[in-house]
């Protein structure tokens, strides 16, 4: 089937008439669809439509915009299973995970419905008599949203919903690896009541559509989730015109297991964190940091369970792990396995493409575990984005924290211990935006801030109440009803 862009309330082909084909990573012979390979002219049309729609949309009362988000949440709920199946076919992860992905979009929409009546400003006392001081949140204008493929419903909702509720209009570029999920999200937003021009969907590559969004003068804020390299480029381009920029980038997340931990619980956590979504999460557990007292026992437990993970097409409910998203990602994971071996790490299980039965048609990779990993190895420091786990032995909590902080990223972290004092000390010293105690490094909830420190981002937080700071400007208002000129900082000082 041939799909289109959505610009100014109409579905249309790219002006160039060029297209690209998206295939199922579990079976590269299966076509998901044909999508527009758009260019700068398409982005220009989308920006113009968004600019023209802005005055009417931002004038709509926020609770009314919230009602549209509520209807959007209802539609996501109604179509949850259909969307989950599309996601699984498009990017590979198993159905139980794609259902969770859609649910996160539902939760985000409903949370926004509530936030529409809690769009708080501040009322504070003035230093002068007969004077009021207030603040309001106002939309920035046209928002450029660029989303990845690994959460093709949740992350677009993380960006679209707060941007729209705040009163901005949108130009949205999804990943070329997840174009159909994005198309369905926009279709449901339109069905929910979003007026023409308020949301504009432009398919295409980052080097054309993405770059055009960054440099367009009518875009006031850009929100991006993806790699550090691309994020640095976005910050560089947007910095020239002082655009607001929110960057949610990579991670090299570690799970610490201390000797007093519930080992069965910690095992479930690392299996889910490392191999859920085939390791293709920015919050995936890619380092396991074990206290030496339980190292041998826990490592044996881990290998035994990892070898039993069922691999196959995510539409099969019996499967626990699906394919990597693309041939390019498969090649990257293979290269990192080679790097790990060359560095002297010991490959214990996996390390190769999985080609059993029908999996030979897709980009499957076996769960991979390296032992004898040292903190300075590349496989312990660089983001791989695949089912590859590096296991590191440490003497105690102090060394564990030193190791977990020994990367350029700082997104998510985890510690398993039954000692509350150790848990709280770790929370204080770990350099990460997210810390789980007795839970895996994955599992964010929509009503809490999401993001990291160091090279993981530029300080903004998606999710919860903090995401609205990305898409709004603060207006401070002074109301003087004294009937005379009052001079702040001057008339307040007597004698």
Q: What is the DSSP string of 446-474?
A: TTS-B--EETTBSS--BSTTTHHHHSEEE
The pLDDT assigned to 482 comes to 97
Find the helix packing angle between 179-192 and 154-165, rounded to 10°.
Answer: 30
The stretch 179-200 carries a mean pLDDT of 98
The pLDDT assigned to 459 comes to 95
pLDDT tens per residue across span 310-357: 999 999 999 999 999 999 999 999 999 999 999 999 999 999 999 999
Two tokens, residue 245:
């920029």
pLDDT tens per residue across span 244-264: 999 999 999 999 999 999 999
Q: What percent of the chain has pLDDT over 90?
A: 99
Residue 21, by phi and psi: left (phi above 0), alpha (psi -120 to 50) or beta?
A: beta
Q: What percent of the chain has pLDDT over 70?
A: 99
Two tokens, residue 289:
């940091």
Q: What pTM value is reported for the model?
A: 0.96
The pLDDT assigned to 494 comes to 56
The stretch 223-238 carries a mean pLDDT of 97
pLDDT tens per residue across span 92-138: 999 999 999 999 999 999 999 999 999 999 999 999 999 999 999 99
Kindly name the residue from 47, 157, 238, 282 that is annotated as catalytic. 282
pLDDT at 493 over 70: no
d(CA 405, CA 399): 10
pLDDT at 495 over 50: no
Kindly name the residue from 97, 104, 248, 291 that is annotated as catalytic. 248
Give the pLDDT band (50/70/90) at residue 491.
confident
The stretch 469-490 carries a mean pLDDT of 96
The pLDDT assigned to 324 comes to 98
pLDDT at 65 over 50: yes
Pairing of β 388-394 and β 285-291: parallel
User: What is the average pLDDT score of the chain?
Assistant: 97
Strand locations in 362-455, DSSP E?
Answer: 368-371, 388-394, 409-410, 412-416, 434-437, 453-454
Q: Is 282 a residue of the active site?
A: yes
d(CA 35, CA 2): 6
Side-chain-side CA neighbours of 322 within 13 Å: the count stands at 27
Nearest residue to 468 via CA among 213, 105, 195, 136: 136
d(CA 416, CA 398): 14
The pLDDT assigned to 492 comes to 74
pLDDT tens per residue across span 365-404: 999 999 999 999 999 999 999 999 999 999 999 999 999 9
d(CA 161, CA 109): 6
Q: Is 248 a residue of the active site?
A: yes
3-state class of 277 per DSSP? Answer: helix
Domains of the chain and CATH, by start: 5-249+457-477 (3.40.605.10), 253-437 (3.40.309.10)
The partner residues of 416 in beta bridges, in order of sequence, read: 257
Q: What is the DSSP string of 153-219?
A: THHHHHHHHHHHHTT-EEEEE--TTSHHHHHHHHHHHHHHTPPTTTEEE--S-IIIIIHHHHH-TTE
3-state class of 120 per DSSP? Answer: coil
pLDDT at 220 over 70: yes
pLDDT at 36 over 50: yes
């Amino acid at each position: 089937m041939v799909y289109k862009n959505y610009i100014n309330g109409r579905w249309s082909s790219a002006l160039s008439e060029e297209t690209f084909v998206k295939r199922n990573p579990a079976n590269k012979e299966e076509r998901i669809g044909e999508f527009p390979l758009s260019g700068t002219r398409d982005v220009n049309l989308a920006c113009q439509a968004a600019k023209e729609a802005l005055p009417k949309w931002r004038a709509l009362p926020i609770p009314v915009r919230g009602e549209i988000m509520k209807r959007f949440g209802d539609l996501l709920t109604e179509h949850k299973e259909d969307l989950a199946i599309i996601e699984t076919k498009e990017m590979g992860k198993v159905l139980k995970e794609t259902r969770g992905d859609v649910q996160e979009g539902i939760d985000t929409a409903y949370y926004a419905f509530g936030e529409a009546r809690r769009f708080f400003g501040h009322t504070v006392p003035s230093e002068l008599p007969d004077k009021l001081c207030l603040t309001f949140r106002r939309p920035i204008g046209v928002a450029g949203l660029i989303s990845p493929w690994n959460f093709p419903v949740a992350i677009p909702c993380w960006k679209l919903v707060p941007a729209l509720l705040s009163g901005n209009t949108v130009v949205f570029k999804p990943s070329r690896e997840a174009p159909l999920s994005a198309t369905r999200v926009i279709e449901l937003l339109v069905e929910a009541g979003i007026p023409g021009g308020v949301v504009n969907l432009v398919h295409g590559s980052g080097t054309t559509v993405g770059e055009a969004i960054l440099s367009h003068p009518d875009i006031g804020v850009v929100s991006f989730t993806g790699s550090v390299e691309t994020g640095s480029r976005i910050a560089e381009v947007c910095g020239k015109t002082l655009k607001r920029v929110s960057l949610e980038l990579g991670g090299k997340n570690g799970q610490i297991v201390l000797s007093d931990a519930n080992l069965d619980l910690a095992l479930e956590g690392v299996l889910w964190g490392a191999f859920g979504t085939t390791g293709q999460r920015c919050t995936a557990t890619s380092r396991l940091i074990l206290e030496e007292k339980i190292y041998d026992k826990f490592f044996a437990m881990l290998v035994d369970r990892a070898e039993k993970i069922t691999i196959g097409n995510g539409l099969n409910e019996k499967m626990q792990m699906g394919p990597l998203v693309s041939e390019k990602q498969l090649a990257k994971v293979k290269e990192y396995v080679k790097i790990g071996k060359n560095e002297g790490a010991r490959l214990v299980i996996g390390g190769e493409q999985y080609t059993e039965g029908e999996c030979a048609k897709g980009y499957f990779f076996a769960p991979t575990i390296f032992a004898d990993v040292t903190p300075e190895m590349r496989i312990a420091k660089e983001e791989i984005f695949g089912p590859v786990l590096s296991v590191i032995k440490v003497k105690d909590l102090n060394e564990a924290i030193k190791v977990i902080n020994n990367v350029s990223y700082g997104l998510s972290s985890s510690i398993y211990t039954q000692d509350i004092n150790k848990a709280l000390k770790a929370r204080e010293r770990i350099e990460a935006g997210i810390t789980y105690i007795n839970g895996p490094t994955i599992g964010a909830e929509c009503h809490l801030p999401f993001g990291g420190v160091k090279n993981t981002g530029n300080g903004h937080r998606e999710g919860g109440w903090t995401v609205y700071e990305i898409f709004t400007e603060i207006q401070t208002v002074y109301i003087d009803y004294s009937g005379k000129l009052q001079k702040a900082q001057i008339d307040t000082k007597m004698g």
